Amino acid sequence: MADEREPLLSYHEVQRERTEQLLAHEITASAQANEDYPIDHGKVAWMQVLGGFILFANSWGLPNTFGVFQTYYVDSLLPGQDAARIAWIGSIQLFFTTIGCLPGGVLLDRGYLKSVIAVGTALEVLGLILTSFFKSYWAIFFAQGVLMGIGSGLMAIVPVAVLAMFFEKKRMLATGLASTGASVAGIVFTISLRSLFLSMGFGWAVRIFALIILITNLVAFVVMRLQLQYGSKGSSFGFHHFKDVPYTVFVIAFTLFVASSFVPFFFIQEYAIKLGVSKDMAFNLLSIMNAANIFGRFVPNFIADRYGGVNTLLPLAIACIITLCMLPLAHEINGLIAISIVYGFLSGGVIIIPGPTITDLSPNKAEIGVRLGLAYLVAAFGGLFGNPATGAIKGEGNGAVDNFKGVWLCAAAVMGAGVAALVVTRWLKLATMVPLNILSLLYALPLTHAALYHPTPALSFIEHVLVDNWGAYASNFSSAITPCTRYVSQTGTMALTSGRTTSAQWMRVMFHDFVTANVSAGTGGIDASIGFETARVENKGSAFNDSFAFWRPFVHDGLSMADLIALATVMSNNLCGGAQMPYRAGRTDATEAGRTTGVPAPETDLEETLLFFERAGFDKVDAIGLTACGHTIGSVHHGGFPEVVDESFVTPENTNGGSNFDTTRGVFDPNVLGEYLNGTGNKGGPLVTSYNDTMKSDLRLYESDKNATVHALFAQGTGFLDTCVELMSRAINTVPAGVQLSEPVTAILIKPINVTYDFNEDGKLMLNGKIRILTPAGVPPPSSLNIRINQHETKIEPEAETGSSVFGRSNSIYGITSYFPFSLSGPTIHGATSFLVYGPGISESPFPITSQAFFVPSLTALEGSSINVTIAITDSKSCSDLAVRLAAPFVQHGTLAPKIHETSIAVGKATAVLDDYTLCHGLTVLQDVPTGLVGAEALIRGEVLDKLMVNGGVAGW
């Protein structure tokens, strides 16, 4: 297969150059019902940025130009009116611009994009034409403030919502680029209007302005699109969206920012003139501010795409506050110019980042419009009262600095309140913007886990699967995969002769679940919908149900089947020679089969195969790379695919007739690439060499760019494994819109395991558990540990059996796990709030604990469908205050993935009293026998006191 060619590009160079554009195709009417425009790339997507730029300019850009109207009205057209009263025209315009977002958003959710733009444009143009003829305050108030405001508002929501449909990874950047239209409008419209006021008079200047808006909005009308499936059902309008607490608090912050951030745009010119700056230079200050605002609208947004909207907004808003406080110190033009540049830049992000951040808070893409509209409805009142209120504070003395000091400081105080609300939003675990270590701290507060699952029950279990690979307390995941040539549902001779491979089958399950993703529609991906789809022809074979049957007992309220599909992929890679792949938790399970049918099959032609990958967010280079990575292990079997593998492969030693992809079918390595390019070994596997030419799907894919990508991948050597980690991580992290994944789960070096309070046979309080220590290979584990609780120290010894872990692997060297059991009793453990662990080479590590209220493991059990729980409480609490909430997994029709059902148990006071603890007991019969672990929470007035995981007949795991 090797060929003479030009010097090889690196894999990433091949990615950048994209050796070919994905095959162009016409979308038929029937396909339009199922396909959306590409996400994050393509002509259609970037045309939305152009249309958004225009609509931003002709909606949000208009308040940025009001300063020139304000000055003209005060000096010429309405000289008898107070400046603060005239500011109400601009404020009412901003108010209706923001309040108009609600009907605009609702209509947009129902698919009326073109109608929204048409009506909005008509109202804007009509308002401007009327303004050009009116001479009285109230007539201008109605035309410019109300009519133009409503027209702007209908369209103002369009770019933010539409760009959220067309961009995912680049959403903040795309929105920022489009929003620069508002700042460009602030510059161009301001300078142009002032010049036209002087040369043509107010009336004709405004009429020409209306014509410009009409023509440019026609361009937006032509290029703007909705994703094809968007708007088919419409949104659910209602104020129930405000039950989402992080969303609601963020809306409050947004409102306060709207109330304060526009103040300098309204008053900087008047302030400069009062300071003695020439009118020409004062007019230029607003243009300077708007020019800086352009860069402020996309530079911070580029950062926000990586670090999150809230994390970017916080420092921007704080810096705005500081700049506002510096305005009273600016007494001459140079200082005003500097502050205008700085504030213009900073406020750009504060003004625009909230919009796309709100779209991130919308779990249902079909409700982006209404949730944005509701947010802008509330924020409208900030725009309505913010500028006039601060303007009313302005003094009437002779000193400009003293007159305006209250204006600037009031704006800073309001923005400070917005920062406080933003901090609360972040604390409420807003989307991806809260690092996992913050979540861990929240979960580790006292009174949270008397049964200590560090840092949380779900993450403790996932970390156990990832770390405890072999030896003592090894997870079943590891034994199911290793050796990497075994198959999970077979044992003995059958496992050796069938040729089937667990790790390869788990990778196949992941791929079939992932590749039905439609990233532009926000559907599919790793959501376990494959469990409902095993009867489809593309999912033939037992791999899917065999895998789900193995994973099903692990599903509980903190770990979904979708999470397990991703976890199985990570474990298959990590244990079978791949580079270390990170794992993120937090996926949710689908409740029905996915809307998208079909996956790339051996007989699928190249064009259709690439379209499957493109819809899932992978281009041709990515598709080749992911295919090569998935085919470094495993086989295609005659038993399942006789059209690919002929009968000659069936032998007594290969009963299923497996044809391996390479000569090392149980190891992640680059051999599949080398054997393909050099024509050696298995020559790339059965999907390259099949006797049936129509089944050579890998060959068609590899040759689609004349083997450029395959050469680049093979040239990486062992770096190919890092590329595989990158591609497979993208695949397992492709999830439906609204699903937010955790930060990568990392190995815990010092980990408490099932540390719980209980009572011994004499009814005395005791604290039991184990401490697991993870040390690098070659470093001896500590010979002993010390536990200190309430100033009392206890030395504990390790168990004889140790384990080994793939974590920390380097050159095939693995970490060692050691386990230190302990059981403490006596008065020292009463009233404890934490304990310390330390030893030789182990620094002091504190862990929270509480004995005030806890599940009693020895008196809590699940037998069949009956579960009884016992909670011990101190005298300061009452059984009547307790609530117990259960989350149990049960069989679900149509799939082997369980469904979690929540229920409550009533508890009452038991007659027994143990070691001065009152016992509260409850018993219930569940609707069926659970398929796995049952989560139990004890609460008082909504506060979680303790958590416990209950297995059949056993409390804890």
Write down the architecture of domain 854-955 according to CATH: Sandwich (2.60)
pLDDT digit string, tens, across residues 19-64: 333 223 322 332 333 344 556 667 888 899 999 999 988 988 887 7
Helix (H, G, I), strand (E, B) or coil at 917: strand
Element (H, E) at 945: strand 943-951
Looking at 657-710, which runs of residues are DSSP E strands? 658-660
Q: What is the pLDDT of residue 415?
A: 92
9 pLDDT tier (thresholds 50, 70, 90): very low
Q: Quick one: CA dihedral 745, 589, 569, 167, positive or negative?
A: negative
The residue behind tokens 């020679």 is 577
Q: What is the pLDDT of residue 10?
A: 43
Mean pLDDT (whole number) for 224-239: 57
Q: In the predicted model, what is the mean pLDDT of the chain?
A: 81
Q: What is the pLDDT of residue 428?
A: 60
164 pLDDT tier (thresholds 50, 70, 90): confident
Q: What is the pLDDT of residue 235?
A: 47
Residue 724 to residue 732: CA distance in whole angstroms: 12
Phi, psi of 882, deg, nearest 5: -80, 145
Choice between 469 and 368, residue whose per-residue pLDDT is larger: 469
Mean pLDDT (whole number) for 164-177: 77
Choice between 227 and 732, residue whose per-residue pLDDT is larger: 732
Q: Of 772, 882, 886, 769, which is closest to residue 829 (Cα–Cα)?
A: 769
Residue 252 above 80 pLDDT?
Answer: yes
928 pLDDT tier (thresholds 50, 70, 90): confident
Q: What is the pLDDT of residue 239?
A: 65
Q: What is the pLDDT of residue 583?
A: 94
Alpha helices, H only, 354-428? 354-360, 368-393, 400-427
369 pLDDT tier (thresholds 50, 70, 90): confident
Range name among 287-301, 527-541, 840-854 with the lowest pLDDT average? 287-301
Topology of the domain covering 36-227+240-433 = Growth Hormone; Chain: A; (1.20.1250)
Q: What is the pLDDT of residue 741?
A: 94
Residue 274 to residue 282: CA distance in whole angstroms: 10
The residue behind tokens 């007989």 is 603
Q: What is the pLDDT of residue 432?
A: 30
Pairing label, strands 803-810, 813-825: antiparallel
Residue 873 · residue 853 · CB < 8 Å: yes
Domains 36-227+240-433 and 750-845 share a fold: no
Mean pLDDT (whole number) for 396-422: 83
Q: What is the pLDDT of residue 767?
A: 93
* Domain range summary for the chain, segments of one domain joined by +: 36-227+240-433, 486-732, 750-845, 854-955
pLDDT digit string, tens, across residues 857-876: 888 888 777 888 999 998 76
In the chain, % of residues over pLDDT 70: 85
User: Could you check whether the bond before residue 455 is cis, i.e. omega within 30 degrees of 0?
Assistant: yes
Buried b / exposed e along 255-270 (16+ C-beta atoms within 10 A):
bbbbbbbbbbbbbbbb
pLDDT digit string, tens, across residues 749-778: 899 988 889 998 889 999 999 999 998 877
The residue behind tokens 């920062």 is 419
Q: Which residues pair with 935 in a beta bridge?
A: 887, 949
Q: What is the pLDDT of residue 31?
A: 32
> Cα 898 vs. chain centroid, distance in angstroms?
24
Residue 233 above 70 pLDDT?
Answer: no
Q: What is the pLDDT of residue 12?
A: 40
Range name among 291-295, 323-327, 484-488 with the lowest pLDDT average? 484-488
127 pLDDT tier (thresholds 50, 70, 90): very high
Residue 909 to residue 919: CA distance in whole angstroms: 6
Half-sphere exposure at residue 639, Cβ-oriented, CA atoms within 13 angstroms: 14
Q: Which CATH code, of 3.60.21, 3.40.630, 2.60.120, 2.60.40, is assigned to 750-845?
A: 2.60.40
Q: Which CATH code, of 1.10.10.10, 1.10.420.10, 1.20.120.530, 3.40.50.720, is assigned to 486-732?
A: 1.10.420.10
Joined tokens for residue 588: 């949710």
pLDDT digit string, tens, across residues 912-923: 788 989 999 988
Q: What is the pLDDT of residue 703?
A: 94
Alpha helices, H only, 394-501? 400-427, 436-443, 457-467, 476-481, 492-497
Residue 642 to residue 773: CA distance in whole angstroms: 50
